[in-house]
């Protein structure tokens, strides 16, 4: 039986943009630079792994938040 924790959680680029108060282009650059892992939906839309976003939101990672 699959449990919810067995499946990765995702955020949309818009959700990440609002969390960090950055532009859509910045979220895209972070993904292209490897700071955020992404997956594509069957429709081709980008989703961002929640674990990567959560890691950037932790206080210890705040100093390491990518800029640009």
Give pLDDT, residue 8: 85
* Sequential pLDDT tens for the chain (68 residues): 555 567 789 999 999 999 999 999 999 999 999 999 999 999 999 999 999 999 988 877 545 667 66
Q: What is the pLDDT of residue 30?
A: 95
CB 13 within 8 A of CB 50: no
Quote the pLDDT of residue 19. Answer: 95
d(C-alpha 16, C-alpha 26), whole Å: 10
């Amino acid at each position: 039986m699959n449990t919810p924790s067995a499946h990765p959680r995702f955020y949309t680029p818009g959700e990440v943009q609002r969390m960090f108060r950055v532009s859509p282009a910045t979220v895209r650059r972070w993904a292209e630079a490897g700071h955020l892992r992404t997956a594509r939906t069957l429709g081709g839309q980008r989703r961002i792994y929640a674990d990567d976003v959560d890691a950037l939101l932790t206080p210890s990672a705040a100093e390491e938040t990518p800029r640009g």
